[in-house]
């Protein structure tokens, strides 16, 4: 080796070693800190998880939850195995509530509007200023003797917070407190009120039924109380007894329909007539158990007339009628394909009659009416519709509007002209924790806690034919500078003063809630059993997630008076068939529900169970229809109704009638955070503004549309490869008869 | 041959002996009743929440880089109006003769004494071999280091590593829950009982379609269910001996397409 | 060309050596703490048992740094005139936790439960050394996998060599 080379090697070696040393030095993690507690919280052991019982509030079902908390952070929300509503399960939406809690797009502080309304430009203010501003506005209203011009619009709240909000509004001197949600199930409640005397959804005992006839009830995804019904469904299929059967009547095969044994794709709008024809066939064939009151009314609905209207053969109607009446117990449930029309009440009543005729009411495995067991007197005010709010705003009858939880700007059609009406309201306050489309119109925002940070309670509606009272407790400290919803009302009452402060004189909502439960405890003897007084009861309820009593059997009869609400004709769809050839079915999808799930990243990336599409909207079209229109999958189309136009990519879906197209609800947000904003399209925009005149529930299936090519927009991304098994035997099946022969397995 | 080489050779040979893998402490098994499953995907979100799975966004989803360790496959047969739809949850099948284990050049994936097919993140160098060998397409690769915007990262489960770029991952049967159940059992000086362990998917399932337990315990629910005449395993003819047992869906026409 | 490869190889080897030297011999094994706390006085001279302060060691995966309230429990009375104790008191008065510097730091992908080791009768000394004689705490174990495994092997821990016993 030459001397020169040797030196070169030494040089390179030196530089290399030096570089290695330096890299080692800089890449070394900085001395990690070990931060002790100042005072150790009693219920926290670092490194060991604590579980708190609470209630999921992302939909109205009221599933009990257990929240896993480690070092003061919520890690996971699971179903509470002891809770009678969900018995341990929890749906995709409910489990994502931690992402609502830790959402990066939450409103972190009280805000005051800076830019023009709807622009979303706000300046941060303090809570003192926010409360003072709103209280000042209210006092001014009061001093001008315009108390009645305060409106409070909230999501369908229940329990004590609902009472507090109601007390606040009435003490202030206004009677305008209304609830609004896209899926309030008011049609079902009204049908039950007129038929059975209680304005609540009964308990559908799916677990024990042997023949479930579902009129578009998509309980596998979002319908009413999905986890409760799904739990029942599992037991109905593979429980202790014989395997139950599921028949689904709907124009678009829903997630639940996908699990059905039979799919009856009746023509949209005629399903209620089908229900009545089935009931009439049962009566005519002498299979009815209790039809005395209904013989006359039903005789108008002959199976052969219905067959042509509904696009279901006479034989099939008769076969369904016989099987429905003979199988014991059977159960019909009124889902979206009877209750989402302009005459939804009529459809729900038709299903009630069907249950009555087959003798399914008040029996195990049938319809089990719920009563007001705990005397918390929940009631639905059918007169308070979103249309009354709009006309009041237009007439200048609303000076101050407070919104909480409801997002009507997103969930009402453009035809309702809600935004125009809101512009006539001089002052809008929102208590929302998220910048949704309605909150974006607010002049001032007082962000409330999410339910994982707040106190509360819940009396599940629909109940489970047993008294249930669940408690919501804060499982973590507030993540941002938000306040408990109850505390906002209480502090506002104090700031307004006068008789409002006099009426609501609790120090904070936690105390108010406890006092309310003390009343509940003293009214209900059953609660005292096995407890050493109220404090003991309260602690046990906090531990268990609430209190629930034994099942109560009630019965009811669908009275003949309900017949006066029967429409007797198919529901109407706007738009001429020649111009607008397709029925539009906007439906609630597993993840987004009415749009509230769209800001949660897990749910955006959750493939839709039927189409596997992620992060966007799509329109489902029958492959034959698409072929006739010259469309292939992924093509961008305009969906045009007489009321507007949206665009979405085509998904070829064999499970839909050729004369129908379907679009999921939930995307198309103009606000609502980074995950939701500017993604997909909102089918509600192009609907006519129709409400059931009796109940006030919005009619979602109410317009025809035409499909035209050539729109531009977002690509469709789906996670599936093929929808075919290609002979690989991936999902193997056995026939029901084969199954009967097999030995019943032990569980 | 020197002594230490002989020892190593002997050890390697013992791994190849039939029955080596049957001497297990437990044989964790999942039974999924397809007649109960209604495809609601609660299990998918439960898995995301429990196992710190990142959300990758639309563009990455389009490249099939979504992280779902557990997916619901949906198959559609027939044409309108005779459409039949079938669901099946598919996750790592924890094969007893796993093809992926034979491929890894660094032994980052292997079979452990609980009958689990496990993946060691800090050993993985990201050759993608296991994912290529996998019969069930259940392995997921970290193409990037994914970060949650603040404060979403507060949700991350401290019992599960947050993986970084270049690492392969897959369903673990919620091994952290198995570990914690064993830990509790040890504290109480008893063996692990049937029902002590519920993976996140099984815990969340609204219909109760997913069962989990030890196949070596003849009294366990899974051992009993595994005797069901409806039992089958996914692509059984490939002889990977999966630990997930499916119970056939009871369905209309009853054409068992694979008999 | 051949020479270039040779240079690269030599450079590479030197680089690794440099990195390793830094890692092994230039780590701060006994970092300066915000308070000059002496285990020698507490655990040595005064014979306070470890778990009197590290209260979670038997119940949790972490042993727990003593909370400030626990320090003040004694030091409201004892040696209140010492300047170091006054530092502790000032943290307490400011309602601030003491930012101790971590000496035994395990990477994120390791699951190490103190609880299992304490309950198995492993003496704290086994890993943390003779703390009772240290004026300032000093890292005495490498905390490398081989070090863990040597003990697991020696003690014949059940499944003690399985990856997923300690990794997560």
The CATH number linked to A232 is 3.40.228.10
In angstroms, the CA A728 to CA B86 distance is 14
Percent of residues, chain A, with pLDDT higher than 90: 72
Contact residues on chain A for B234, CB-CB shorter than 8 A: 730
**pLDDT of res. B255:** 38
Say which of B83, B248, B253 has its CB closest to residue A654: B83
Q: 3-state secondary structure string, A241-304? A: CCCCEEEEECCECCHHHHCCCEEECCCCCCHHHHHHHHHHHHHHCCCCCCCCCCHHHHCCCCHH
The answer to whether residue C144 neighbours chain A at the CB level (below 8 Å) is no
Domains, chain B, with CATH or none: 25-247 (3.30.70.20)
Q: Which residue has the higher pLDDT, A419 or A293?
A: A419
Pair (A433, A343) in one structural domain: no
ipTM > 0.85 for the complex: yes
Average pLDDT over residues A678-707: 92
Task: List alpha helices for A417-467, DSSP H.
Answer: 418-423
- Taking only the tens of pLDDT, chain C with its 168 residues reads 777 888 888 888 888 887 777 766 666 778 888 899 999 999 999 999 999 999 999 999 999 888 888 889 899 898 888 999 999 999 999 988 899 988 888 888 899 999 999 999 999 999 999 999 998 888 888 888 999 999 999 999 988 888 999 998
Residues forming a β-bridge with B249: A733
Say which of A8, A23, A34 has its CB closest to residue C19: A23
Task: List alpha helices for A89-219, DSSP H.
Answer: 92-95, 97-101, 127-143, 159-172, 186-196
Contact residues on chain A for B75, CB-CB shorter than 8 A: 723-725, 730-731
In angstroms, the CA A520 to CA A250 distance is 42
The answer to whether residue B25 neighbours chain C at the CB level (below 8 Å) is yes
Asked if A686 and A646 touch (Cβ cutoff 8 Å), the reply is yes
- Interface list for B 229-258 with C (CB within 8 A): none
Pair (A491, A603) in one structural domain: no
Best A71, A75, A259, A265 member to test B by mutation, with max B CBs in 10 Å, is A259
Average pLDDT over residues A443-457: 95
Compute the mean pLDDT over every residue in chain B, rounded to the nearest whole number: 90
Contact residues on chain A for C21, CB-CB shorter than 8 A: 17, 20-21, 24
Task: List alpha helices for A285-372, DSSP H.
Answer: 295-298, 303-310, 314-326, 336-339, 344-357
Task: List alpha helices for A49-126, DSSP H.
Answer: 92-95, 97-101
Q: Give residue A552's pLDDT band: very low, low, confident or very high (50, 70, 90).
A: confident
Residue pLDDT, tens place only, B127-159 = 999 999 999 999 999 999 999 998 999 999 999
Contact residues on chain A for C60, CB-CB shorter than 8 A: 45-48
Is A717–B78 a contact, with Cβ atoms under 8 angstroms apart?
Answer: no
Neighbours of chain A (3+ CB pairs under 8 A): B, C
Residue pLDDT, tens place only, B100-136 = 999 999 999 999 889 899 999 999 999 999 999 999 9
Tally of residues, chain B? 259
Shortest CA gap A626–chain B (Å): 13
Pair (A218, A355) in one structural domain: yes
In angstroms, the CA A233 to CA A238 distance is 9
Is B121–C109 a contact, with Cβ atoms under 8 angstroms apart?
Answer: yes
Residue pLDDT, tens place only, B210-252 = 999 999 999 999 999 999 999 999 999 999 999 999 999 998 7
Best C22, C30, C98 member to test A by mutation, with max A CBs in 10 Å, is C22
| Structural domain range at position A79 | 56-101
In angstroms, the CA A661 to CA A648 distance is 12
Shortest CA gap B159–chain C (Å): 7
Please say if the pLDDT value at position A29 is more than 80.
no
Task: List alpha helices for C1-141, DSSP H.
Answer: 2-25, 39, 50-53, 68-75, 83-94, 114-119, 125-128
**pLDDT of res. B35:** 95
The answer to whether residue B162 neighbours chain C at the CB level (below 8 Å) is yes
- Interface list for C 2-21 with A (CB within 8 A): 3, 6-7, 10-21
- A642 within a domain of the structure (yes/no): yes
Is A47–C60 a contact, with Cβ atoms under 8 angstroms apart?
Answer: yes
Pair (A705, A618) in one structural domain: yes
Q: Which residues contact C74 (CB under 8 A, 6 or more apart)?
A: none
Neighbours of chain C (3+ CB pairs under 8 A): A, B
CATH number reported for the structural domain that contains residue A80 in this entry = 2.20.25.90
CATH number reported for the structural domain that contains residue A712 in this entry = 2.40.40.20
**pLDDT of res. B258:** 34
B126 Rama sector, left if φ>0, alpha if ψ -120 to 50, beta otherwise: left
Best A605, A613, A621 member to test B by mutation, with max B CBs in 10 Å, is A605
Residue pLDDT, tens place only, C3-29 = 788 888 888 888 888 777 776 666 677
Average pLDDT over residues A542-558: 88
**pLDDT of res. B257:** 35
Contact residues on chain C for A23, CB-CB shorter than 8 A: 15, 18-19
Q: What single-letter DSSP state applies at residue C135?
A: S
Please say if the pLDDT value at position B93 is more than 50.
yes
Compute the mean pLDDT over every residue in chain A, rounded to the nearest whole number: 91
The answer to whether residue B135 neighbours chain C at the CB level (below 8 Å) is no
A362 Rama sector, left if φ>0, alpha if ψ -120 to 50, beta otherwise: left
Contact residues on chain C for B179, CB-CB shorter than 8 A: 111, 164
- A540 within a domain of the structure (yes/no): no
Report the half-sphere exposure of B34 (CA within 13 A, side-chain side). 30
Q: Give residue A106's pLDDT band: very low, low, confident or very high (50, 70, 90).
A: very high
Please say if the pLDDT value at position A24 is more than 80.
no
**pLDDT of res. B22:** 62
Using alpha carbons, list the distances in angstroms from residue C32 to A66, A235, C101, C105.
43, 63, 8, 15
Q: Which residue from B minimizes the CA distance to A243? A: B250
Residue pLDDT, tens place only, A617-650 = 999 999 999 999 999 999 999 999 999 999 999 9
Which of A416-425, A637-646, A711-720, B216-225 is the least confident region?
Answer: A711-720
Shortest CA gap B23–chain C (Å): 13
The angle that helices A271-284 and A314-326 make with each other, rounded to 10 degrees, is 60
Average pLDDT over residues B185-192: 93
- A550 within a domain of the structure (yes/no): no
Average pLDDT over residues A213-236: 94
Average pLDDT over residues B84-100: 94
Please report which helix (H) or strand (E) contains residue B109, including its range: strand B109-111
Pair (A318, A237) in one structural domain: yes
Chain B to chain C Cβ contacts (< 8 Å): 38
Strand order in the sheet with A262-264: A262-264, A245-249, A211-215, A330-334
Is C163–B118 a contact, with Cβ atoms under 8 angstroms apart?
Answer: yes
Is A35–C11 a contact, with Cβ atoms under 8 angstroms apart?
Answer: no
Shortest CA gap A14–chain C (Å): 7
Q: Give residue A30's pLDDT band: very low, low, confident or very high (50, 70, 90).
A: low
**pLDDT of res. B125:** 94
What are residue A351's phi and psi, to 5 degrees? Answer: -70, -35
CATH number reported for the structural domain that contains residue A126 in this entry = 3.40.50.740
Neighbours of chain B (3+ CB pairs under 8 A): A, C
Say which of A12, A38, A46 has its CB closest to residue C68: A38
Average pLDDT over residues A462-473: 91
Shortest CA gap C54–chain B (Å): 20
Residue pLDDT, tens place only, A112-125 = 999 888 777 899 99
Q: Give residue A747's pLDDT band: very low, low, confident or very high (50, 70, 90).
A: very low
Strand order in the sheet with A73-79: A50-55, A64-70, A73-79
How many distinct structural domains can be found in chain A? 4
Contact residues on chain C for B11, CB-CB shorter than 8 A: none
Is C65–A29 a contact, with Cβ atoms under 8 angstroms apart?
Answer: no
- A299 within a domain of the structure (yes/no): yes
Domain boundary among A368, A390, A409: A368
Pair (A322, A414) in one structural domain: no
- Interface list for B 30-89 with C (CB within 8 A): none
Compute the mean pLDDT over every residue in chain C, rounded to the nearest whole number: 88
**pLDDT of res. B21:** 58
**pLDDT of res. B259:** 31
Please report which helix (H) or strand (E) contains residue A67, including its range: strand A64-70
């Amino acid at each position: 080796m030459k001397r020169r080379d040797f030196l070169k090697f030494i040089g390179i070696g030196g530089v290399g070693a030096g570089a290695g040393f330096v890299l080692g030095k800089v890449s070394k993690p900085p001395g990690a800190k070990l931060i002790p507690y100042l005072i150790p919280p009693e219920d926290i052991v670092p490194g060991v998880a604590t579980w708190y019982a609470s209630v999921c509030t992302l939909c109205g079902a009221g599933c009990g939850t257990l929240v896993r908390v480690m070092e003061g952070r919520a890690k996971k929300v699971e179903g509470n195995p002891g809770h009678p509503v969900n018995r341990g399960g929890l749906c995709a939406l409910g489990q994502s509530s931690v992402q609502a809690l830790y959402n990066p797009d939450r409103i972190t502080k009280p805000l005051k509007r800076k830019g023009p309304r709807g622009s979303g430009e706000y300046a941060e203010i303090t809570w003192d200023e926010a409360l003072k501003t709103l209280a000042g506005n209210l006092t001014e209203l009061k001093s001008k003797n315009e108390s009645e011009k305060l409106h409070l619009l909230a999501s369908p709240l229940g329990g004590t917070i609902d009472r507090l909000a109601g007390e606040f509004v009435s003490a202030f001197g206004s009677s305008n407190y209304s609830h609004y949600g896209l899926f309030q199930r008011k049609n079902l409640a009204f049908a039950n009120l007129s038929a059975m005397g209680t304005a609540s959804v009964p308990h559908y005992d799916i677990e024990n039924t042997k023949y479930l006839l579902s009129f578009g009830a998509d309980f596998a995804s979002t319908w009413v109380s999905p986890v409760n019904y799904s739990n029942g469904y599992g037991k109905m299929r593979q429980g202790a007894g014989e395997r139950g059967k599921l028949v689904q009547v709907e124009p678009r095969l829903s997630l639940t329909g996908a699990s059905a044994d039979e799919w009856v794709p009746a023509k949209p709008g005629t399903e209620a007539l089908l229900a009545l024809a089935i009931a009439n066939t049962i009566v005519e064939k002498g299979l009815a158990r209790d039809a005395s009151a209904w013989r006359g009314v039903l005789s108008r609905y002959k199976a052969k007339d219905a067959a042509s209207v509904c696009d279901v053969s006479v034989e099939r109607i008769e076969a369904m009628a016989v099987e429905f009446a003979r199988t014991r117990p059977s159960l019909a449930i009124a889902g979206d394909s009877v209750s989402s029309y302009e005459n939804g009440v009529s459809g729900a009543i038709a299903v009630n009659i069907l249950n009555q005729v087959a003798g399914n009411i008040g029996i195990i495995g049938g319809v089990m009416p719920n009563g007001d067991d705990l005397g918390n007197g929940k009631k639905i005010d059918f007169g308070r519709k979103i249309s009354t709010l709009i006309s009041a705003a237009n007439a200048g009858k609303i000076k101050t509007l407070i919104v909480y939880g409801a997002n009507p700007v997103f969930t009402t059609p453009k035809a309702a002209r809600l935004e125009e009406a809101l512009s006539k309201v001089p002052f809008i306050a929102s208590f929302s924790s998220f910048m949704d489309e309605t909150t974006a119109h607010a002049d001032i925002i007082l962000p409330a806690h999410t339910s994982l940070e707040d106190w509360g309670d819940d009396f599940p509606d629909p109940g489970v034919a047993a008294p249930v009272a669940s408690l919501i407790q804060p499982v973590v400290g507030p993540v941002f500078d938000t306040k408990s919803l109850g505390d906002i009302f209480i502090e506002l009452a104090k700031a307004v003063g006068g008789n409002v402060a006099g009426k609501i004189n609790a120090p904070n909502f936690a105390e108010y809630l406890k006092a309310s439960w003390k009343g509940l405890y003293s009214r209900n003897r059953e609660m005292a059993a096995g407890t050493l007084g109220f404090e003991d009861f309260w602690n046990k309820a906090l531990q268990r997630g609430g209190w629930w009593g034994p099942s109560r059997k009630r019965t009811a009869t669908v009275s003949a008076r309900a017949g006066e609400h029967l429409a007797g004709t198919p529901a109407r769809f706007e738009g001429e068939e020649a111009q607008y050839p397709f029925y539009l079915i906007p439906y609630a999808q597993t993840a987004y529900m009415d749009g509230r799930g769209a800001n949660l990243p897990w749910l955006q990336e959750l493939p839709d169970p039927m189409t596997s599409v992620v992060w966007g909207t799509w329109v489902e079209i029958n492959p034959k229809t698409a072929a006739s229109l010259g469309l292939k999958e992924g093509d961008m189309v305009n969906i045009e109704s007489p009321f507007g136009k949206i665009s979405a990519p085509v998904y070829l879906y064999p499970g839909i009638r050729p004369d129908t197209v379907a679009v999921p609800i939930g995307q198309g947000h103009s606000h609502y955070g980074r995950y939701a904003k500017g993604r997909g399209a909102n089918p509600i925009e192009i609907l006519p503004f129709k409400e059931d005149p009796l109940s006030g529930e919005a009619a979602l299936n109410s317009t025809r549309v035409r499909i035209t090519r050539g729109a531009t927009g977002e690509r469709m991304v789906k996670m599936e490869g093929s929808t075919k098994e290609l002979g690989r035997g991936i999902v193997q099946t056995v026939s029901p008869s084969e199954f009967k022969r097999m030995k019943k397995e032990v569980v | 041959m020197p002594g230490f080489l002989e020892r190593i050779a002997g050890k390697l040979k013992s791994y190849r002996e039939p029955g080596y893998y049957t001497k297990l402490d437990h044989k964790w098994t999942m039974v999924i009743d397809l007649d109960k499953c209604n495809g609601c995907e609660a299990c998918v979100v439960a898995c995301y929440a429990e196992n710190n799975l990142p959300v990758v966004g639309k563009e990455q989803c389009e490249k099939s880089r979504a992280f779902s360790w557990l997916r619901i496959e949906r198959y559609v047969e027939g044409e309108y109006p005779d459409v039949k739809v079938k669901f099946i949850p598919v996750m790592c099948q924890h094969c007893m003769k796993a093809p992926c284990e034979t491929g890894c050049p660094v032994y980052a994936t292997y079979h452990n004494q609980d009958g689990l097919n496990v993946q060691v993140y800090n050993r993985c160098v990201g050759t993608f071999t296991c994912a290529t060998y996998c019969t069930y397409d259940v392995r997921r690769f970290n193409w990037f280091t994914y970060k949650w915007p603040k404060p979403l990262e507060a949700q991350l489960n401290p019992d599960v590593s947050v993986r970084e770029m270049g690492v392969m991952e897959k369903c673990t049967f919620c091994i952290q829950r198995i570990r914690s159940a064993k830990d509790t059992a040890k504290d109480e000086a008893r063996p692990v009982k049937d029902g002590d362990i519920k993976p996140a998917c099984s815990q969340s399932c609204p219909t109760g379609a997913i069962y989990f337990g030890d196949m070596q315990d003849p009294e366990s629910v899974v051992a009993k269910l595994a005797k069901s005449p409806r039992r089958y395993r996914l692509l059984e003819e490939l002889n990977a001996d999966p630990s997930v047992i499916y119970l056939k869906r009871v369905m209309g026409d009853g054409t068992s397409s694979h008999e | 060309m051949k020479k270039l490869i040779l240079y690269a190889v030599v450079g590479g080897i030197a680089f690794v050596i440099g990195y390793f030297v830094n890692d092994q011999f230039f780590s701060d094994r006994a970092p300066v703490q915000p308070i000059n706390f002496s285990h020698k006085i507490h655990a040595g001279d005064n014979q306070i048992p470890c778990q009197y302060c590290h209260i979670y060691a038997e119940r949790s995966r972490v042993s727990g740094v003593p909370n400030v309230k626990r320090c003040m429990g004694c030091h409201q009375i004892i040696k209140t005139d010492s300047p170091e104790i006054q530092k502790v008191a000032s943290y307490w008065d400011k309602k601030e936790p003491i930012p101790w510097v971590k000496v035994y730091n395990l990477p994120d992908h390791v699951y190490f439960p103190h609880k299992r080791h304490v309950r198995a009768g492993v003496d704290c000394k086994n890993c943390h050394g003779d703390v009772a004689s240290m004026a300032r705490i000093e890292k005495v174990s490498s905390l490398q996998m081989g070090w863990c495994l040597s003990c697991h092997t020696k003690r014949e821990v059940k499944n003690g060599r399985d990856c997923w016993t300690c990794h997560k």
